[in-house]
Amino acid sequence: MDINAEMSHLAAASGIIFDFRNPPKHNHEVLSHILARSDAPKGWEAIPLIIRPDTASAPASWEDTSNGNMPQLSVQQPHIGGRVAFLIGPAAISYAESVLSLVEYYHLGEIVGSPTAGTNGDIAEIGLPTGCTTRFTGRRVTKPDGRRQHLIGIQPTIPASRTIAGILEQRDEVLEKALSSIRSAK
């Protein structure tokens, strides 16, 4: 679905729920229609510059890579003025966490669900002599205000989780909680 083609309908809606429980499709620009002021975070993503193997005597310095890799947004019209909620869960990783960091930082809506994985940053992979490989985060990624994000992730403002009973009844309790939040604010 082309979200931009639906923007006039979204702007007129009394409430919208965005589902970030699975990776989004690089359509973070929709946040521009929710923002009250333009975004300009600096220094919340960096790569280490290591020039010696002994980092105790020469610690790594950090190169700011925020401008090229993190979504930065300016206010766009039409403005979405209805209630907004974002569904999250542990499968929301990497790019989803970058976008959700902006949602959290600018208080763009309720964040409903369970914490994200806290695994933002490019993947670095090393092949070992045994034939095994190991992966790790190749960047330091913080929240826009500089707070730690690694292994913390985005925390919900309204905690909710799916239950076995809900699954058996074909219900989505996380979505139901978000709907309740949007409806109760009217």
98-131 pLDDT, tens per residue? 889 889 999 999 999 999 998 887 777 888 899 9
pLDDT for the residue numbered 155: 96
Contact 87, 19 (CB under 8 A): yes
Structural domain tally of the chain?
A: 1
Domain containing 68 equals 3-48+58-184
Within a domain: residue 100? Answer: yes
Let me know if residue 129 belongs to a domain: yes
Give a yes or no: residue 20 inside a domain: yes
CATH number of residue 92's parent domain: 3.90.226.10
Of 114, 116, 119, 115, nearest to 150 (Cα)?
Answer: 119
- Quickly count: other Cβ atoms within 10 Å of residue 12's Cβ: 11
User: 0.85 exceeded by the pTM?
Assistant: no
Residue 124 lies in a domain: yes
- When pLDDT is averaged across residues 45-53 and rounded to a whole number, the result is 65
Q: How confident is the model at residue 65 (pLDDT cuts 50, 70, 90)?
A: low
Chain segment 50-64, per-residue pLDDT in tens: 666 666 666 566 666
Domain annotation covers residue 53: no
Does the pLDDT of residue 166 top 70, yes or no? yes
Within the chain, strands assigned E span: 15-19, 45-49, 61-64, 83-88, 110-113, 123-127, 133-137, 140-141, 158-159
Domain membership flag for residue 30: yes
24 inside domain? yes
**Domain presence at residue 111:** yes
